[in-house]
Amino acid sequence: MFTQEVKEGLALALVQPSFAKQYLKIVSQERDYLGQWLVWPAHADSEAFFLTFIQNALQGYAAGKSLTCAMIVEGQVAGNISFNTINTELKKVEIGYWLSKQYQGQGIVSQSVEKMIEIAFEQLAMEKVQISAAVENRPSRRVCERLGFELEGVITRAENLNGRTVDHAVYGLSRAKWRG
């Protein structure tokens, strides 16, 4: 299994079927919280949902199209982080993530994104990392800003988020800026 230590007590682990129960437990307890910024929690009502998600994620990984990892805090699944897309032609990855409410405010997402940036640039030889977040999602936008991403623009009417239309702020980080 692919595992990357971020720091003591925090690791990124390639998703595996055994994580399905832990994902379901988090989402069952935090559906409304996660549904503020994600479409899928409203539909994640069974272990089978997550087993299908994991199977698709592993197929994407095998094809070199994506990389989906659980954020593991002290041995417990705390959330998810991924290269939603790996575009080898453009040498660009797009990162997405979500974290259980109980782990918020501890730097877990920022540190995990830093590790994913390192993987993108050092292991995958990418030239750009991109993150999109709803304009109103200040915590996600602060992660981008804290890590040196530049706001590249806003895409209006980018997503129907459980009945409300949201705009996306698109952030980018180039290999050159990351090195500097």
pLDDT digits 0-9 by tens, 120-159: 999 999 999 999 999 999 999 999 999 999 999 999 999 9
CA-based torsion, 56, 57, 58, 60: positive or negative: positive
Say how far apart CA 157 and CA 167 lie, in whole Å.
5
Q: Which CATH architecture is the domain 3-126 placed in?
A: 3-Layer(aba) Sandwich (3.40)
pTM of the model: 0.94
pLDDT digits 0-9 by tens, 71-122: 999 999 999 999 999 999 999 999 999 999 999 999 999 999 999 999 999 9
Say how far apart CA 35 and CA 39 lie, in whole Å.
6
Q: Give, for 77, the enclosing helix (H) or strand (E).
A: strand 76-87
